[in-house]
Amino acid sequence: MTEQSETVGDSSHPPLSRLDVDILRLVAQGCSFSEIGTRAHVSQSIVNRQVRRLMTLLGARDRTDLVVKAEEQGLI
């Protein structure tokens, strides 16, 4: 998996790349940043950056809240 500019979802949701959705799913599965990086074929620093970005985008205060908000919005 590589980061792509293609977005997923409709206009009522924040614009998410396929990488964003993959990362959200892996966070929901309880994977560490290292595990997510390995599975998504990106560096751990990219995972960290994307998770922080997603938390800001969804207004989440931590990883658990990120998963809850993503599920509530139908993103995962």
Q: What angle do CA 68, 74, 76 make, to 5 degrees?
A: 70
Residues of the chain above pLDDT 90, percent = 80
For the chain, what is the mean pLDDT? Answer: 87
Tally of domains in the chain: 1
Instruction: Please check whether residue 61 lies inside any domain of the structure.
Output: yes
What letter would DSSP give residue 12? T
In the predicted model, what is the mean pLDDT of residues 61-65?
A: 97
**Confidence (pTM):** 0.80
Q: Which residues contact 32 (CB under 8 A, 6 or more apart)?
A: none
Identify the CA nearest to 23 among candidates 49, 59, 61.
49
Q: Is residue 52 part of a domain?
A: yes
Does residue 43 lie within any of the structural domains? yes
Per-residue model confidence as pLDDT tens digits over 9-38: 555 666 899 999 999 999 999 999 999 999
In a domain, 21, yes or no: yes
2: in domain: no
**Can you tell me the distance from the alpha carbon of 72 to that of 76, in angstroms, rounded to the nearest whole number?**
9
- In the chain the beta strands, taken as DSSP E runs, fall at 7-8, 16-17
Domain that holds residue 45: 16-72
Is residue 40 over pLDDT 80?
Answer: yes
What is residue 11's predicted lDDT score, i.e. its pLDDT? 53
Could you tell me if residue 48 is inside a domain?
Answer: yes
In the prediction, which pLDDT does 48 show? 97
- Return the CATH number at 50: 1.10.10.10
Examine residue 11 and state whether it is found in any structural domain, yes or no. no
